[in-house]
């Protein structure tokens, strides 16, 4: 009698990939097997392609496989047949022995391939797809530590947990999260933030949508997995408790900030270079420009022989000092408008000292504002703190810790074909900062729009569902994905991704864990719509529904009866408003007639 779950190597073999076959069980994408090779020993492989046929014919089977071989293996070619392509996790010098028997592994047999680092030592991101059957055989230290999200709540882990060793960032820096809308990449970024807080790794995260809040727990999270993050992060809002101290700005930094609001002409840039001295307050600089503008206008309006009239000695000295460096009063007026414009954004109302202190306390510093303000201020902050870290390492300056930079929609901050100050500093950090311990975690829907140098420097890439051809082409070149993985990118489930890294011995198919805490703005907008227009008084609602059907002429009588029948008094306008709300919520239908409006229940 034939043994159930017989699995064999089928057909032609080589040193990297083989086909396996079974009558009894279907194969799961990314599932792991052991090939019992009499010559090479036990060989571990991963399913990279899986197919089922109603019966076997030579035309249906993969190249190098024939029906005669299936029958010689003791399988029934006339019954449904399951075939999978297996990629070997090690490369051998000779091909796999044909017809070798194949079996499911025990966790201990493949642990070294699946655990790149211990979960407590790395960033615990999720579970490895295809390892669900290994769940029951996991040691306790690997069990139920990576909960998943299913059907609106957190559920226990299903599979082997996956951790990323952040200590390798010293040699292989940078993480990229790439995927289309709804692919789960922003959700994964939140998991990254939680893991950094779990490890007390200082980080700066830009949060234009006010989504990074870690107060409320996810529904279904076990108590032993809950973490109180309230002391592990701080929120900073530009113009409220975070900004730039004007007197700290260098000339190039001030010019970069102004360029965000309106580009400077060459005469304006020359004037700013001449007039601004580090340490100037905003008021000092503006007054200097206004006074000089007034003197130049006076000089422009007088004949040459009368230019000294009615001009103070101080103003004449100001004019003599700068006259050859200023193109004219209109240049100063343009510069003045730009300075006033950037001042109006409120970015000079505070400083970055509190943010620096948060990093020194090993916290996650979350910066909130509009994209425009984030672009202006983040370039200054990143450069300032990066060079502070460099100064500490190179010249034994003020003690300052290594830190991470986290940016969602990163193509806005470092676009491929546009020169921005943020792009310049992020590019410098991507290329040079690893030896100083400053790393980037960048997230974007459109990797093709992100600066190519920065993409290339991201050593770890988490690739979620994407359908854009340009993005797929970029990712296929930059990540270690085989053809089957690339073909599957448009169809990945939300939260599932391929993780390709120079720090890993293979590319992993991973399902990100649920976040421990719940992001704000998670309510369905249509549920919110109903809630917004729900009556504030359910007692009145129930009373109206109990009086149906009635017409508009009955409303006066109904209102009169409310006084004696309900605990609270209502105006006629409140009654009419509640009736209309019930109509809008489709709980009551209305029909116009000669006798007025008729109302009846839809419940």
- What is the number of alpha carbons within 13 Å of residue 74 lying toward its C-beta? 13
| Residue 567 Cα to chain centre, angstroms | 51
Q: Which residue has the tokens 């030579």?
A: 58
Residue that wins the pLDDT comparison between 255 and 520: 255
Q: Residues 158, 510: contact at Cβ < 8 Å?
A: no
Q: Which helix (H) or strand (E) holds 556?
A: helix 555-565
pLDDT digit string, tens, across residues 110-148: 999 999 999 999 999 999 999 999 999 999 999 999 999
**Predicted local distance difference test score (pLDDT) of residue 256:** 86
Q: Residues 416, 451: contact at Cβ < 8 Å?
A: yes
pLDDT digit string, tens, across residues 14-68: 999 999 999 999 999 999 999 999 999 999 999 999 999 999 999 999 999 999 9
Q: Residues 516, 224: contact at Cβ < 8 Å?
A: no
Q: How far apart are CA 482 and CA 479, in angstroms?
A: 9
Q: How far apart are CA 576 and CA 342, in angstroms?
A: 50
Q: How far apart are CA 120 and CA 163, in angstroms?
A: 9
Output the average pLDDT for the chain.
90
pLDDT digit string, tens, across residues 546-599: 889 898 888 888 888 887 788 788 888 888 888 888 888 888 999 888 778 899
Q: Residues 274, 285: contact at Cβ < 8 Å?
A: no
- Indicate whether 106 pLDDT > 70: yes
Under the phi-then-psi rule, with left for phi > 0, alpha for psi from -120 to 50, and beta for the rest, what region is 99? left
Q: How confident is the model at residue 1 (pLDDT cuts 50, 70, 90)?
A: very low
Q: Residues 278, 250: contact at Cβ < 8 Å?
A: yes
**Predicted local distance difference test score (pLDDT) of residue 91:** 87
For the ranges 308-317, 478-487, 501-510, 581-590, the lowest mean pLDDT is seen at 308-317
Q: How far apart are CA 420 and CA 424, in angstroms?
A: 6
272: three-class secondary structure by DSSP: helix
Classify residue 140 by burial, with Cβ atoms within 10 Å: 0-12, 13-18, 19+.
exposed
Question: pTM for the complete prediction?
Answer: 0.83
Q: Which residue has the tokens 């299903």?
A: 158
Contacts of 3 (CB under 8 A, 6+ apart): none
330: three-class secondary structure by DSSP: helix
Residue that wins the pLDDT comparison between 526 and 368: 368
- Indicate whether 2 pLDDT > 50: no
Q: Residues 34, 9: contact at Cβ < 8 Å?
A: no
Q: Residues 129, 175: contact at Cβ < 8 Å?
A: no
- Indicate whether 532 pLDDT > 80: no
Q: What is the mean pLDDT of residues 186-211?
A: 95
Q: What is the mean pLDDT of residues 227-254?
A: 94
Q: Angle CA(333)–CA(334)–CA(340) in degrees, nearest 5?
A: 85
């Amino acid at each position: 009698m034939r043994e159930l779950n017989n699995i064999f190597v089928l057909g032609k073999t080589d040193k990297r990939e083989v086909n396996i076959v079974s009558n009894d069980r279907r194969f799961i994408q990314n599932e792991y097997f052991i090939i019992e090779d009499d010559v090479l020993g036990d060989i571990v492989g991963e399913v990279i392609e899986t197919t089922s046929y109603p019966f076997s014919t030579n035309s249906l089977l993969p190249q190098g496989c024939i029906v005669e071989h299936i029958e010689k293996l003791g399988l029934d070619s006339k019954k449904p047949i399951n075939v999978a392509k297996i990629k070997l996790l090690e490369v051998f010098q000779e091909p796999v022995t044909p017809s070798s028997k194949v079996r499911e592994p025990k966790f201990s047999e493949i642990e070294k391939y699946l655990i790149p680092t211990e979960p407590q030592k790395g960033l615990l991101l999720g579970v490895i797809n295809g390892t669900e059957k290994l769940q029951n055989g996991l040691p306790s230290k690997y069990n139920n530590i990576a909960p998943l999200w299913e059907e609106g709540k957190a559920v226990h882990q299903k599979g082997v947990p996956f951790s990323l060793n952040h200590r390798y960032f010293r040699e292989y820096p940078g993480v990229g999260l790439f995927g289309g809308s709804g692919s789960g990449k922003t959700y994964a970024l939140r998991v990254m933030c939680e893991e950094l807080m779990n490890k007390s790794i200082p980080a700066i995260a830009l949060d234009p949508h006010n989504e990074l809040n870690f107060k409320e727990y996810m529904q279904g999270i076990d108590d032993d997995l809950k973490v109180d993050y309230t002391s592990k992060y701080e929120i900073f809002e530009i113009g409220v408790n975070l900004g730039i101290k004007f007197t700290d700005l260098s000339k190039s930094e001030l010019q970069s900030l102004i360029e965000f609001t309106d580009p400077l002409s060459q005469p304006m840039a020359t004037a700013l270079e001449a007039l601004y001295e580090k340490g100037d307050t905003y008021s000092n600089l503006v007054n200097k420009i206004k006074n000089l503008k007034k003197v130049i206008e006076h000089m422009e309006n007088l004949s040459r022989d009368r230019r000294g009239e009615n001009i103070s000695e101080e103003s004449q000295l100001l004019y003599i000092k700068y006259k050859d460096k200023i193109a004219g009063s209109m240049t100063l007026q343009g510069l003045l408008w730009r300075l006033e414009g950037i001042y109006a954004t409120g970015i000079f109302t505070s400083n970055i000292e509190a943010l620096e202190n948060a990093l020194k306390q090993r916290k996650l510093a979350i910066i909130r504002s509009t994209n425009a303000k984030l672009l202006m201020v983040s370039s200054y902050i990143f450069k300032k703190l990066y060079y502070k870290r460099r100064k500490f390492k190179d010249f034994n300056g003020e003690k300052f810790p290594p830190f991470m930079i986290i940016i969602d929609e990163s193509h806005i901050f470092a676009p491929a074909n546009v020169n921005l100050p943020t792009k310049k500093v992020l590019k410098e950090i991507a290329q040079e900062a690893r030896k100083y311990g400053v790393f980037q975690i960048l997230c974007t829907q459109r990797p093709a729009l992100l600066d190519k140098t920065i993409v290339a420097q991201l050593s770890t890439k988490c690739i979620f569902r994407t359908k854009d051809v340009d993005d797929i082409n970029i990712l296929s070149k930059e990540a270690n994905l085989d053809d089957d993985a690339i073909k599957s990118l448009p169809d990945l489930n939300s939260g599932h991704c391929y993780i390709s890294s120079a720090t890993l011995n293979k590319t992993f198919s991973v399902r990100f864990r649920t976040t421990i805490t719940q992001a704000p703005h998670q309510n369905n907008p249509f549920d919110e719509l109903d809630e917004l227009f729900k009556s504030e008084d359910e007692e009145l609602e129930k009373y109206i529904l109990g009086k149906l059907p009635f017409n508009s002429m009955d409303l006066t009588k109904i209102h009169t009866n409310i006084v004696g029948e309900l605990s609270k008094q209502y105006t006629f306008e409140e009654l009419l408003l509640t009736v209309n709300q019930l109509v809008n919520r489709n709980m009551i239908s209305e029909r116009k007639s000669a006798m007025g409006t008729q109302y009846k229940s839809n419940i």
